[in-house]
């Protein structure tokens, strides 16, 4: 899922400083699962915005709403139900949702309540960790299913580096060295010999370095 | 200027059970502050961050939660969960530039112990010294 976290309240309060009517808009997609921007978090944020505005002596009307997702045209269109009730949308979706609202609603002032952080999973309750960098050229079949692009601090393709110590990363000593994990896992799968083969120089053009990426499935277009 | 704070208490059903016996008369006799409004909940672990924030929106100057001892919760981890949610509200208040001590967590044993009254007095005194809440009651 896409993982995100709430921006610092000071930043949010500055964004909405001059707003009179705010729609705090939750997303029931990924950000609900990672407890950053679902209906519960949006309700908490709406309450905090009301409290913050009261403290600053500003009158504001804050309403709450939610969409199934904010990254699909058909769901974004549902914003019409709050027509006339807001002068700003404070979206608790990931950056994709905020962009979609901006794309589809040219006159709406949409503001991001979250910082979108990474593609990850829930390692344990209340803890999320990055697992994929969305680099567009997956190498997981070569690395035992563990991603060196996302999980190596240096995104090395021929690791581990010289800084790997006792299975830990030199950049973040509390993080397992993913190349040590790959080496150990390939051994368990009886594929350790493959580790001796140097990975070729990587073409990063699929990773977004050439501008925004797009994909089209002709069989699905209408 | 005299100021009587509006203080909301969310208390564990079990912790406050004896305190509330006899319609709370004993509690009154022991000097439990009259400006503390108590809501009993089945388990403090059921309290949401939003419940505590709504109390402030509703005009509270201070809010506190009384739950079971950390290692002796009737529902195992209920009061530990409550403490984390109280901490989340403390953090949020601090982000808004508000005294985090306007919301507090107490872990108290069951029964009508002096600590139950002491916690209320401590909150009352603390909020009185801070003054009215900044949310415009």
Q: Indicate the pLDDT class of residue B14, thresholds 50, 70 and 90.
A: confident
Q: What is the arithmetic mean of pLDDT over B68-89?
A: 95
pLDDT computed for residue B1 by the predictor: 61
Contact at CB, B96 and A9, closer than 8 angstroms: yes
Shortest distance, CA B96 to any CA of chain A (angstroms): 6
Task: Enumerate chain A positions whose Cβ falls within 8 A of a Cβ in B.
Answer: 8-10, 13, 40, 43-44, 47-48, 50-52, 54-55, 57
Query: Of all helices (H) and strands (E), which one includes residue A22?
Result: strand A21-27
C-alpha dist (Å) from residue B88 to A149, A185, B48, B50: 34, 39, 10, 10
Count CB neighbours of B114 within 10 A. Answer: 10
Nearest to A156 by CA among A177, A187, A128, A130: A177
CATH of domain A2-118: 3.40.50
pLDDT computed for residue B121 by the predictor: 96
Per residue in B101-136, pLDDT tens? 999 999 999 887 889 999 999 999 999 999 999 997
Shortest distance, CA B91 to any CA of chain A (angstroms): 10
Contact at CB, A44 and B56, closer than 8 angstroms: no
For chain B, which residues make up each domain, given as ranges? 7-127
Percent of chain A with pLDDT over 90: 95
Assess if CATH 3.40.50 describes domain B7-127.
yes
pLDDT exceeds cutoff 90 at B85: yes
Q: What is the arithmetic mean of pLDDT over A13-21?
A: 97
Count CB neighbours of A210 within 10 A. Answer: 9
Q: Indicate the pLDDT class of residue B137, thresholds 50, 70 and 90.
A: low
Considering chain A, tell me which residue range(s) the CATH 3.40.50 domain(s) occupy.
2-118
Contact at CB, B50 and A48, closer than 8 angstroms: no
Per residue in A27-39, pLDDT tens? 999 999 999 999 9
E runs forming strands in B68-137: 103-107
Residues of B in contact with A54 (CB under 8 A): 134-136
Beta strands A88-91 and A21-27 are parallel
Residues of B in contact with A40 (CB under 8 A): 48, 50
Q: Kindly state whether B112 is in contact with chain A, defined as any CB-CB distance less than 8 angstroms.
A: no
Higher pLDDT, B106 or B30: B106
User: Whole-number mean pLDDT of chain A?
Assistant: 96
Q: Kindly state whether B130 is in contact with chain A, defined as any CB-CB distance less than 8 angstroms.
A: no
pLDDT computed for residue A196 by the predictor: 93
Q: Kindly state whether B84 is in contact with chain A, defined as any CB-CB distance less than 8 angstroms.
A: no
B57 → closest Cβ in A13, A50, A57: A50
Per residue in A122-178, pLDDT tens? 989 999 999 999 999 999 999 999 999 999 999 999 999 999 999 999 999 999 999
Q: Kindly state whether B92 is in contact with chain A, defined as any CB-CB distance less than 8 angstroms.
A: yes
Q: Which residue is associated with the tokens 């961050």?
A: B49
Is the bond preceding residue B103 a cis peptide, omega within 30 degrees?
Answer: no
Comparing alpha-carbon positions, the chain B residue that sits nearest to A40 is: B50
Q: What is the arithmetic mean of pLDDT over B34-51?
A: 96
Per residue in A40-85, pLDDT tens? 999 999 999 999 999 999 999 999 999 999 999 999 999 999 999 9
pLDDT computed for residue B18 by the predictor: 75
Shortest distance, CA B113 to any CA of chain A (angstroms): 34
């Amino acid at each position: 899922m896409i993982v995100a976290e709430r921006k610092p309240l000071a930043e949010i309060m500055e964004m909405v400083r001059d707003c009179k009517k705010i729609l705090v808009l939750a997303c029931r997609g990924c950000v609900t699962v990672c407890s950053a921007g679902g209906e519960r978090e949006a309700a908490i944020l709406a309450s905090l915005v009301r409290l913050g505005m009261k403290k600053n002596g500003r009158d504001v009307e804050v309403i709450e709403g939610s969409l199934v997702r904010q990254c699909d045209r058909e769901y974004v269109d549902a914003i019409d139900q709050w027509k006339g009730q807001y002068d700003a949308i404070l979206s608790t979706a990931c950056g994709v949702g905020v962009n979609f609202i901006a794309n589809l609603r040219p006159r709406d002032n949409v503001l991001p309540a979250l910082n979108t952080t990474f593609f990850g999973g829930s390692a344990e309750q209340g803890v999320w960790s990055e697992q994929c960098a969305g680099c567009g050229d997956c190498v997981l079949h070569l690395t035992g299913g563990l991603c060196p692009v996302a999980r190596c601090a240096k995104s090395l393709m021929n690791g581990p580096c010289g800084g790997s110590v006792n299975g830990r990363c030199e950049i973040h000593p509390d993080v397992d060295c993913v190349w040590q994990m790959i080496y150990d896992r390939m051994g368990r799968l009886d594929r350790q010999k493959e580790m001796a083969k140097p990975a070729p120089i990587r073409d990063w053009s699929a990773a977004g370095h050439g501008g925004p990426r797009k994909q089209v499935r002709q069989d699905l277009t209408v | 200027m005299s100021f009587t704070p509006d203080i909301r208490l969310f208390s564990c059903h079990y912790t406050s059970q004896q305190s509330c016996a006899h319609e709370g008369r004993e509690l009154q006799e022991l000097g439990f502050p009259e400006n503390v409004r108590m809501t009993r909940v089945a388990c403090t672990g059921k309290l949401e961050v939003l419940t505590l924030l709504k109390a402030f929106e509703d005009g509270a100057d201070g809010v506190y939660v009384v739950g079971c001892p950390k290692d002796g919760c009737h529902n195992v981890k209920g009061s530990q969960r409550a403490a984390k949610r109280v901490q989340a509200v403390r953090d949020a208040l601090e982000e808004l530039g508000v005294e985090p001590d306007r919301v507090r967590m107490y872990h108290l044993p069951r029964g009508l112990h002096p600590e139950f009254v002491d916690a209320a007095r401590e909150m009352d005194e603390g909020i009185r010294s801070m003054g009215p809440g900044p949310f415009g009651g």
